[in-house]
Structure 1
Amino acid sequence: MAACTKPVRVKTPDGAEKELVPKKVWGLAPKGRKGVKIGLFQDPATGKYFRGKVPDDYPECG
Structure 2
Amino acid sequence: MTYKKAVKIKTPGGKEAELAPEKAWTLAPKGRKGVKIGLFKDPESGKYFRHKLPDDYPV
TM-score calculated relative to the size of structure 1: 0.86
In structure 2, stretches of 5+ residues that fail to align are none
The alignment status of 1:17 with 2:11, answered yes or no, reads: no
Which residue identity is paired with 2:30?
K
Which residue identity is paired with 1:18?
A
**CA deviation after TM superposition for structure 1 residue 29, in Å:** 0.6
2:39 aligned partner:
40
Q: How many residues align?
A: 59
Which residue identity is paired with 2:16?
E
CA distance in 2, matches of 1:41, 1:57: 18
In structure 1, stretches of 5+ residues that fail to align are none
2:58 aligned partner:
59
Higher relative contact order (CA 8 A, sep 6+): 1
TM-score calculated relative to the size of structure 2: 0.89
Which residue identity is paired with 2:48?
Y
